[in-house]
Amino acid sequence: MIFEQVANGGCQSYLIGCSEACVGALIDPEVRKIDRYRALAAQHGVRIQYIIDTHTHADHFSASKQLSEILDVPVIAHRLSPAPYVDLRIDEGDVIKVGNIRLTVLHTPGHTRDSMSLVASDRVFTGDALLIGATGRTDLPTGDPEQLYDSLFNKLLKLSPDLRIYPAHVYKGSTCSTIEEELRSNPRLQKRDRGEFVEMMRTLSLSMPEHLTEALRVNMSGGVSVAQLLSEAAAEVPFMSMEEVKSRVEAGANDFIVLDVRERDAFDAAHIPSAKHLPRGQLELRVNEALPDPTLRIVTYCEVGKISTLAAATLRRMGFTRAVALDGGMKAWKEKGYQTEATPQA
Ligand SMILES: [Fe+2]
């Protein structure tokens, strides 16, 4: 069996593969590790055949939709998953075949309604139902401590004691455990009475994960995150260094336009000398009158360099094929002590 565990902070993804059939499945992939998964699959000589999400993640951005499009393979999730891009909806007792490997589905709700665990011959992928030394939380959307109690005590913990556990999160350093080990030492599993367990889960008062609403929006809809949007735009545009812009402005170069895409107040207070102003929000609608020559070299800038990247990408798409973005923003420009100009008061 081919097996790789890929950590991204505390989030864990897995590549499981069959070396005879040369196929594999990716479990709980995260967007920032897409290249890593593909490299690992290539290194092991396996073709990724399935992308599997154990549940709707609230704390990281699932790479399932993107990988499914890149690799042209189906996304698998529990039938209760709200994600519209799921191709294969599965349920309790279903078996996913990955070459000679069999992954049997256990519906293990509680952390989320659509949580499932995948049981292989010697290991179980528990998603966020059973963690090492902990359990998944039940206070996020569709969480339910009563359901988690049943998923743990009436399903997962009744599996073979020597099964290894591979969860979707690792918080305390150890990356592998067994059912037996968790029964013995996991503090949350010591509350074996349903009422006590539910009460404990209800009173944990954990802090909310970072990017909660954004992760749910992206994972439930298949849309993109702000970071993805920015990195896609950044991949479409070249940048110009602040030193280069400064020297061109000082030399009075007339073969390029410095374009400030911030709001009017910010522009009026301080802008790069000779900059033209066209706020990002009005870019598409006012571009024809503001920038009549599409062959000009245009350098966009904003406060920190993000909006200007989006603006430069938009300009390129509209035919301004020499648009670039400032590598940095007005904030860094000022910090360097470079010259600025205010709009004269009328
Ligand atoms: Fe989760």
How far is the centre of ligand 1, averaged over its atoms, from the C-alpha of 73 (Å)?
Answer: 23
How far is the centre of ligand 1, averaged over its atoms, from the C-alpha of 2 (Å)?
Answer: 25
How far is the centre of ligand 1, averaged over its atoms, from the C-alpha of 50 (Å)?
Answer: 20
CA distance 293 to 156: 66
**Cα 322 to chain centroid, rounded:** 31
How far is the centre of ligand 1, averaged over its atoms, from the C-alpha of 77 (Å)?
Answer: 14
Query: What CATH architecture applies to the domain 2-223?
Result: 4-Layer Sandwich (3.60)
Give the pLDDT of residue 253: 84
Q: How many Cα atoms occupy the beta-carbon half-sphere of 69 within 13 Å?
A: 6
Segment among 151-155, 170-174, 189-193 with least mean pLDDT:
170-174
Q: Taking 80 as the threshold, does the pLDDT of residue 173 lie above it?
A: no
Average pLDDT of the chain, as a whole number: 96
Residues of the chain with CATH 3.60.15.10: 2-223
How far is the centre of ligand 1, averaged over its atoms, from the C-alpha of 204 (Å)?
Answer: 16
How far is the centre of ligand 1, averaged over its atoms, from the C-alpha of 172 (Å)?
Answer: 16
Q: Taking 80 as the threshold, does the pLDDT of residue 343 lie above it?
A: yes
Give the pLDDT of residue 9: 87
CA distance 292 to 301: 19
How far is the centre of ligand 1, averaged over its atoms, from the C-alpha of 99 (Å)?
Answer: 28
Instruction: Name the more confident of 325 and 345.
Output: 325
How far is the centre of ligand 1, averaged over its atoms, from the C-alpha of 243 (Å)?
Answer: 45
Q: Taking 90 as the threshold, does the pLDDT of residue 181 lie above it?
A: yes
- For residue 271, what pLDDT band results from cuts at 50, 70 and 90? very high
291-310 pLDDT, tens digit each: 999 999 999 999 999 999 99
How far is the centre of ligand 1, averaged over its atoms, from the C-alpha of 114 (Å)?
Answer: 10
Nearest-5° angle of CA 259, CA 260, CA 263? 145
55-88 pLDDT, tens digit each: 999 989 999 999 999 999 999 999 999 999 999 9
How far is the centre of ligand 1, averaged over its atoms, from the C-alpha of 188 (Å)?
Answer: 17
Give the pLDDT of residue 99: 97
Protein residues with C-beta less than 5 angstroms from the ion ligand 1: 128
Would strands 23-27 and 297-301 be described as parallel, antiparallel, or unpaired?
unpaired
How far is the centre of ligand 1, averaged over its atoms, from the C-alpha of 293 (Å)?
Answer: 51
Residues of the chain with CATH 3.40.250.10: 227-335
Q: Which CATH class is domain 227-335?
A: alpha beta
- For residue 171, what pLDDT band results from cuts at 50, 70 and 90? confident
How far is the centre of ligand 1, averaged over its atoms, from the C-alpha of 64 (Å)?
Answer: 15
Instruction: Name the more confident of 155 and 173.
Output: 155
How far is the centre of ligand 1, averaged over its atoms, from the C-alpha of 97 (Å)?
Answer: 24
CA distance 278 to 259: 7
Q: Taking 80 as the threshold, does the pLDDT of residue 346 lie above it?
A: no
315-324 pLDDT, tens digit each: 999 999 999 9
How far is the centre of ligand 1, averaged over its atoms, from the C-alpha of 128 (Å)?
Answer: 5
How far is the centre of ligand 1, averaged over its atoms, from the C-alpha of 111 (Å)?
Answer: 7
CA distance 60 to 11: 8
Smallest CA-to-CA distance from 131 within 175, 97, 191, 84 is with 175
198-246 pLDDT, tens digit each: 999 999 988 888 889 999 999 999 999 999 999 999 999 999 999 999 9
Give the pLDDT of residue 194: 97
Give the pLDDT of residue 176: 80
Give the pLDDT of residue 16: 98
How far is the centre of ligand 1, averaged over its atoms, from the C-alpha of 118 (Å)?
Answer: 15
How far is the centre of ligand 1, averaged over its atoms, from the C-alpha of 49 (Å)?
Answer: 23
